[in-house]
Amino acid sequence: MKRVLFVCTGNTCRSPMAAAIAQGLSPEVQAASAGLGAFEGEPASGNAVKAMSKRSFSISDHSARLVSRLEVESAYIVLAMTRSHKRALIEMFPDQAEKIFSLGEYAGEDADVGDPYGGDLKAYEKCAAQLEELIRKALERALSPVDLRDAE
C-alpha cells in the first residue's frame, strides 16, 4: 500500500477533500492530509463537508493538522495543492524533495488547485471536481508498476 500525503494551507478544504477522494478511488492507497498553516483540531469547512457528501465521501470527522517531518518521510509521495505549497514543502524538507510534487504537476497538468475557502457551495463543488480529475490521473501514475518518480 502506498501512502499519499496531500498538503494545502489550512487543512480544512482542499487537502482533506483530496485525501477522501484518493482513499475512495483506490484501496491500494493510504491517503492523509495536512496543512502548512493549519490550526490543529479545526474541523473541515462546512461547504467542504457538503460538497464531499454530494460525492458520497465523508470528511465530517476531519481534524486539521500541521504538516510534520514524520508524515512527509513516511509518504510515498507528497502532493501539494499549488506550486507555491510545493516550494514551501521543499524548503522545509529539502532532503525529501524527490517525492514532493504539486498535484497538477504529478497528474501531468499545468494546474494549481484554487482555494475555495470562504466561497459558496458551488466553489467547493468545482474544487472537488477538479480534485477528482487530477487525483484519478495522479493515482494512475503513482500505482504504475514503474516508479515514475525516477523519471523526473
8 is known as an active-site residue: yes
Residue 137, Ramachandran bin (φ over 0: left; ψ between -120 and 50: alpha; else beta): alpha
Which residues on neighbouring strands pair with residue 79, listed in sequence order?
6, 101
Please say if 136 is a catalytic residue: no
Cell of residue 78, nine digits: 507528497
Catalytic residue among 3, 55, 115, 149: 115
Selected catalytic residue, list 13, 14, 65, 112: 14
DSSP for residue 43: B
Round to whole Å and give the CA distance between 59 and 114. 19
Report yes or no: 12 and 48 within 8 Å, Cβ to Cβ.
Answer: yes
Active site residues: 8, 14, 115
